[in-house]
C-alpha cells in the first residue's frame, strides 16, 4: 500500500473538529497552517574519515504561544511531511492540557544503530548549531525534547552546544528538556509519557457513562491489554498498567510479538530480552507477528510505536473495546472511521500522548526559575509534618510506625510533586474533553479533544488582536 500522508491525516482530524466551531475561515486557516519549516543539509565526518551529508528538519507549527516545543526524531523515515504533522499534533496537545507552548518537531534522517556514539554526537551537535543559526533553538524560541531514536544523552549534547555558543544566556538550561538530572533535568520526565497514558486510560475506566457503553466494570484491574511497542512510552505505560492490576495478554516489538491468554510477566519478558536480544521465544508464550498482535482480543489495545499502525486494511480485524493511542497518529483517518463504526472507543493521541510535554513544561519552568520545586517547600513541609506527627502521637498516646512518621515528616520529593501534577493535568484534561463532548453532543472523544484544543488556540489569537 502507498504510505498515507501523515500531515494530511492530521488536517482531516482538524477539519472534522473545526466544523463544529463558529470561527471565521481565515482564523481556522491560520490555526491549521504550519508556520515555518527549516530543511537542513550538513556534512559530518564519520569515524572512517568519510563524509556523510545529513538531511534534517525542524518544523514550528504555531507561534500563538512561545516558545514552541517538540521532540527530535532520529530515523531514516524522517521527512518534511512527518515533522509538520508531529508539530501540529504538539500544538493541540499543549493547548489541550493547558501548556503555554506552540507546537514544533524536529527530525534527522539517520539510523542511530548504524552510527557510533562519537558519530551521533557530531551529528547532534552540528544539528543544534544549524538550528541556532536560524533561531530555531532557545529557551524563549524553540525548545526540543527526545522522540523516537533520541534520549537524554542527545538532549545533553544539545544543551552543551547551546551553552557553549550562548554563554551569556542565564536561562540556557531551558533550551531543551528531558536532559540528564545533573544538567538540570527533572525526576519523572523519562516515564512521563507512558505514565500519562496510564492516567488517561484509568480515567476512562472510572467514567460511569463510558463504562456503560463499553459494558465493563470500573478500574484497570482485571482488564486485558495488548501493548505494541516497548520503547520509552510503551514500556512505562505497560509497567504502570501491570502495577494497576491490568493483564498484559500481548506484547509486541519490531521483531515480533508474544501472547498469553493468562497474561505475561513484563519484568521477566524484559529480562528475557536482555538475555537474548529479543522478546520472542519467551517460555510459555506464543510467538506471533507484530501485525497479528494488533488483532488479539483484548479490552484495551495500546499502540505505542510509530504512526499509521492501524489502517483501513486492518481496522476491521481489531478486537479491542478501546484503542488507546499512546503513539503519535497510530490510527489513520480511514481506520478511525472504521473503528468508530464498530463502536470501538478511541482515546486520542492529542490527549493521551501529552504526558511528556506536560513534564517537559515543569522542567522548563524549573530551569527558568533556577530552583527545584521541592527546595521551595521542603523545609516548611518538614516542620509542619514534624509538628503534626508529634501532636498525633500525643493525642493517641502511641508512637507512629517509623515508615508512616517518615512520610509525614519528609513530605513529597520532586518526583512525587511531578507525578502528582502530571496526574492532575491528565484528569483535568479528560474531564474537560468529556464535558465538551456531552455539552455539544459530539460522537467521539477525538472530535471533542480536537475541538477543545482548537477553541483554546483560537482564543489566544482573538485576545491578541491578530483577528479582531
How far is the C-alpha of 44 from the C-alpha of 165, rounded, in Å?
A: 19
Q: Which residues pair with 40 in a beta bridge?
A: 56
Note whether 441 and 451 are within 8 A (CB): no
Contacts of 135 (CB under 8 A, 6+ apart): 141, 142
Which of 105, 179, 321, 366 is flagged as catalytic? 105
Q: Is 105 a catalytic residue?
A: yes
Note whether 350 and 89 are within 8 A (CB): yes
Contacts of 241 (CB under 8 A, 6+ apart): 198, 201, 220, 225, 227, 248, 302
Question: Distance between alpha carbon 377 and the CA centroid of its chain, in Å?
Answer: 28
How far is the C-alpha of 364 from the C-alpha of 354, rounded, in Å?
A: 15
Per-position b or e across 133-170, b if 16+ CB within 10 A of its CB: eeebbbbebbbbbbbbbbbbebbbbbbbbbeeebeeee
Q: SS3 of 276, please?
A: helix
Q: Are strands 224-228 and 256-259 parallel, antiparallel or unpaired?
A: unpaired
How far is the C-alpha of 341 from the C-alpha of 336, rounded, in Å?
A: 9
42 φ, ψ to 5°? -145, 150
Contacts of 327 (CB under 8 A, 6+ apart): 229, 233, 303, 304, 305, 306, 307, 309, 349, 353
Contacts of 382 (CB under 8 A, 6+ apart): 409, 410, 411
**Signed CA dihedral, 21, 22, 25, 29: sign only:** negative
How far is the C-alpha of 59 from the C-alpha of 313, rounded, in Å?
A: 30
Closest C-alpha among 101, 92, 95, 107 to residue 15: 92
Residues with a catalytic annotation lie at 105
Amino acid at each position: 500500500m502507498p504510505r498515507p500522508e501523515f500531515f494530511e491525516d492530521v488536517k482531516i482530524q482538524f477539519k472534522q473538529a473545526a466544523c463544529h466551531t463558529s470561527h471565521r475561515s481565515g482564523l481556522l486557516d491560520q490555526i491549521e497552517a504550519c508556520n515555518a519549516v527549516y530543511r537542513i543539509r550538513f556534512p559530518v565526518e564519520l569515524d572512517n574519515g568519510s563524509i556523510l551529508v545529513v538531511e534534517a528538519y525542524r518544523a514550528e507549527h504555531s507561534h500563538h504561544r512561545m516558545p514552541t516545543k517538540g521532540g527530535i526524531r532520529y530515523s531514516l523515515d524522517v521527512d518534511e511531511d512527518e515533522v509538520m504533522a508531529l508539530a501540529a499534533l504538539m500544538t493541540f496537545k499543549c493547548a489541550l492540557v493547558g501548556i503555554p507552548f506552540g507546537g514544533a518537531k524536529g527530525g534527522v534522517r539517520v539510523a542511530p544503530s548504524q552510527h557510533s556514539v562519537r558519530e551521533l554526537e557530531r551529528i547532534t551537535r552540528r544539528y543544534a548549531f544549524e538550528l541556532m543559526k536560524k533561531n530555531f533553538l532557545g529557551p524563549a524560541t524553540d525548545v526540543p525534547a527526545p522522540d523516537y531514536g533520541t534520549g537524554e544523552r542527545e538532549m545533553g549534547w544539545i544543551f552543551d552546544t547551546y551553552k557553549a555558543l550562548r554563554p551569556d544566556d542565564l536561562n540556557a538550561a531551558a533550551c531543551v528538556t528531558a536532559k540528564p538530572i545533573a544538567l538540570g533535568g527533572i525526576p519523572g520526565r523519562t516515564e512521563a509519557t507512558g505514565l500519562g497514558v496510564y492516567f488517561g486510560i484509568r480515567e476512562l475506566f472510572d467514567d460511569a457513562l463510558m463504562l456503560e457503553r463499553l459494558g465493563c466494570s470500573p478500574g484497570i484491574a482485571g482488564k486485558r491489554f495488548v501493548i505494541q511497542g516497548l520503547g520509552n512510552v510503551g514500556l512505562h505505560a505497560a509497567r504502570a498498567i501491570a502495577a494497576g492490576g491490568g493483564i498484559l495478554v500481548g506484547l509486541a516489538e519490531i521483531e515480533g510479538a508474544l501472547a498469553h491468554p493468562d497474561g505475561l510477566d513484563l519484568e521477566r519478558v524484559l529480562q528475557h530480552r536482555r538475555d537474548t536480544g529479543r522478546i520472542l521465544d519467551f517460555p510459555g508464550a506464543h510467538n506471533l507477528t507484530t501485525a497479528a498482535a494488533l488483532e488479539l482480543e483484548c479490552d484495551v489495545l495500546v499502540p505505542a510505536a510509530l504512526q499509521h499502525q492501524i489502517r483501513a486494511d486492518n481496522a476491521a480485524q481489531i478486537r479491542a473495546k478501546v484503542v488507546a493511542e499512546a503513539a503519535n497518529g497510530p490510527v489513520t483517518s480511514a481506520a478511525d472511521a472504521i473503528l468508530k463504526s464498530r463502536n470501538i472507543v478511541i482515546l486520542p493521541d492529542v490527549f493521551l500522548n501529552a504526558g511528556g510535554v506536560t513534564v517537559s513544561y515543569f522542567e522548563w519552568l524549573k530551569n527558568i526559575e533556577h530552583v527545584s520545586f521541592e527546595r521551595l517547600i521542603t523545609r516548611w513541609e518538614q516542620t509542619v509534618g514534624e509538628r503534626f506527627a508529634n501532636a498525633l502521637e500525643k493525642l493517641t498516646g502511641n508512637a507512629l510506625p517509623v515508615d508512616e512518621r517518615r512520610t509525614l515528616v519528609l513530605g513529597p520529593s520532586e518526583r512525587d510533586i511531578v507525578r502528582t501534577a502530571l496526574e492532575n493535568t491528565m484528569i483535568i484534561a479528560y474531564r474537560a474533553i468529556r464535558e465538551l463532548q456531552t455539552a455539544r453532543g459530539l460522537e467521539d472523544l477525538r472530535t471533542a479533544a480536537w475541538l477543545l484544543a482548537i477553541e483554546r488556540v483560537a482564543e489566544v489569537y482573538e485576545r491578541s488582536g491578530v483577528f479582531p
